[in-house]
Amino acid sequence: MNPFEDRLFRPMLIGLEAPPFDNPDYFYELKLDGDRCLAYLSPKKETALISKRGKELQGLFPELKEIHKQVKQRCVLDGELIITGADNKPDFEALRQRTGFGRTSAAAAIRNAPATLVVFDILYHAQKQVTGLPLIQRREILLNAVKEDQRLSVSRVVTGQ
């Protein structure tokens, strides 16, 4: 059984909420208003985007079909699909229009509201499942595994506060 080939991973979803706190042993990431998604990337071969419900999404986001070229080794990335509005903030309604019934043509969508995958975590890299490693180590692997651009970026973190 191969977790990459068999598409066995699931995104890590938000758990229980707690009041804000400061702690130098933690790092914090922004909650983005988008759709959770896994990206199965195989360099020179394919990009497969899978929703948290197991639905294939690459057909809805053709502007992301080449993000596999931004990694050097097969990997599975856990992230959030977002569309940025005119105010440079995630526009959840624009994302809903792309994935829902009010869909515009792919060409118009790419031109007017292209999507970006913002990655939080890496689950598989270099033929190995890495979910057993501490998050800080996985983040280091992620930062070395991905070449960022406008369509694929790594979530920024704040440490301690």
pLDDT digits (tens, 9 = 90+) for 54-72: 899 988 899 999 999 999 9
**pLDDT tens sequence across 107-147:** 666 677 899 999 999 999 999 999 999 999 999 999 999 99
The answer, yes or no, to whether residue 40 has pLDDT greater than 90, is yes
| Average pLDDT rounded to a whole number, residues 88-110 | 72
Q: What is the pLDDT of residue 102?
A: 47
| Average pLDDT rounded to a whole number, residues 47-51 | 94
| Average pLDDT rounded to a whole number, residues 9-35 | 80
Mean pLDDT for all residues in the chain: 87
Which CA distances in Å does 49 have to 15, 86, 111, 140?
23, 25, 20, 22
**How many other CB atoms are found less than 10 A from the CB of residue 86?**
8
